[in-house]
Amino acid sequence: MSLAIRAEGLVKHYGETKALDGVDLEVPVGKVVGVLGPNGAGKTTAVRVLATLLRPDAGHATVGGHDVVKDPVRVRSLIGLTGQYASVDEDLSGTENLVLIARLLDHSRAGARARAAELLEQFELTEAAGRPARTYSGGMRRRLDLAASLVGNPAVLYLDEPTTGLDPHARNEVWRVVRKLVADGATVLLTTQYLEEADQLADTITVFDHGRVVAEGRADELKRRVGGQTLQVRPTSLADLDAVQRILGDLTGMRPTRDDDTGLLTAAVSDPVLLSTLVRKLDEAGITADELALRLPSLDEVFLALTGRKAEEGSLV
């Protein structure tokens, strides 16, 4: 498996703060790796190092086999950068922005115009092509950002929080575009605060916290790592809550968590067969339930467990 990006032991300090504290990262060619983490986890710093915008204090990284510190110009010829910090010029129109970038990438005048028109078409911005970028909606802006980063047909694409601050509709637009790129075989390093985004777009997810990698794997592997499955029961009558709690406790051998407001009982289970046993026992006791479910923990729970306080209480990692 050939690697598009390989980073080893990246460290970056800002005064006292360790933005990166020994990060290893590998992105295989043709894959999408999602870097997931809360604000300040070091995601953007990692992207800036890999995009040659920042020198790491320690560690090294290569993109397409070229060292980001020793050979930044080679690296820059391979990458496209989109995101929070790399922006288009708001005064210029969509066409002008793309033509400028194409000219900077040594396209001829005519070639630059053609490339701009092609990308505007591809990103459904043809109608807005002549308008200043500042008049674009949030979703259109991000699509233009994306188009700008693709002018030079980069081998590796960095998407730094591509949908932060967008409404759900605009976010879906961006996702659709990214999915298409991925289907065409793009290699992508994606950073995001949204689990759903990583889940939707990435082949593998790397979870950052305080400048360190705290977990890695496919979305379903991460979900499994947090624990088995969860059994949830909500009896129709609140009066049955005690009885159901007892039954659930006997079955799982653990004390279920109980929410008196919603009447919901939750217990972790290791064996999915318990669900049918529970149904039978409730039936024998003559208790009906409004809600009865067996599910994997949500990625939000995974996220909290991996990066938040829950992890420190010892649930895993």
- Site for another protein contains 11 (CB under 8 A): no
Q: How far apart are CA 166 and CA 102, in angstroms?
A: 27
**Which segment (5-13, 76-84, 259-267, 280-288) binds another protein by CB under 8 A?**
76-84
CB of 62 to another protein, least distance (A): 15
The two three-digit tokens of residue 88, written as one number: 């288009």
With CB under 8 A as the contact rule, the residue among 53, 114, 275, 294 that binds another protein is: 53
Closest CA relative to residue 189, chosen from 2, 8, 34: 34
With CB under 8 A as the contact rule, the residue among 8, 84, 230, 268 that binds another protein is: 84
Q: Which is nearer to another protein, 145 or 199 (CB)?
A: 145
Helices (H), 105-230: 109-122, 138-150, 168-183, 195-201, 219-226
Beta-bridge mates of residue 231: 267, 294
Write the interaction track for another protein spanning residues 247-286; mark x where CB under 8 A is met and - where it is not: ----------------------------------------
The two three-digit tokens of residue 122, written as one number: 């591809």
- Residue 165 amino acid letter: G
The two three-digit tokens of residue 144, written as one number: 């233009």
Write the interaction track for another protein spanning residues 130-149; mark x where CB under 8 A is met and - where it is not: --x---------------xx
Q: Which is nearer to another protein, 75 or 267 (CB)?
A: 75
| Residue 218 contacts residue 204 (beta carbons within 8 Å) | yes
**Which segment (1-9, 86-94, 205-213, 262-270) binds another protein by CB under 8 A?**
86-94
- Site for another protein contains 101 (CB under 8 A): yes
The two three-digit tokens of residue 104, written as one number: 């900077």
With CB under 8 A as the contact rule, the residue among 8, 26, 57, 71 that binds another protein is: 71
| Residue 279 contacts residue 245 (beta carbons within 8 Å) | no
- Site for another protein contains 126 (CB under 8 A): no
Show the beta-strand stretches assigned E in the chain: 3-14, 17-28, 32-36, 58-63, 66-67, 79-83, 156-160, 187-192, 204-209, 212-217, 229-235, 257-259, 264-269, 289-295
- Site for another protein contains 57 (CB under 8 A): no
CB of 82 to another protein, least distance (A): 9
Q: Which is nearer to another protein, 105 or 292 (CB)?
A: 105
| Residue 35 contacts residue 20 (beta carbons within 8 Å) | no
CB of 87 to another protein, least distance (A): 4
Write out the binding residues for another protein, residues 152-171 only, by CB under 8 A.
152
- Site for another protein contains 216 (CB under 8 A): no
Place of tokens 């980073």: 7
**Which segment (97-105, 113-121, 181-189, 233-241) binds another protein by CB under 8 A?**
97-105
DSSP β-ladder status, 229-235 and 289-295 = antiparallel
Beta-bridge mates of residue 58: 11
Binding site for another protein (CB under 8 A): 48, 51-53, 70-74, 76-77, 79, 81, 84-92, 96, 100-101, 103-106, 132, 148-149, 152
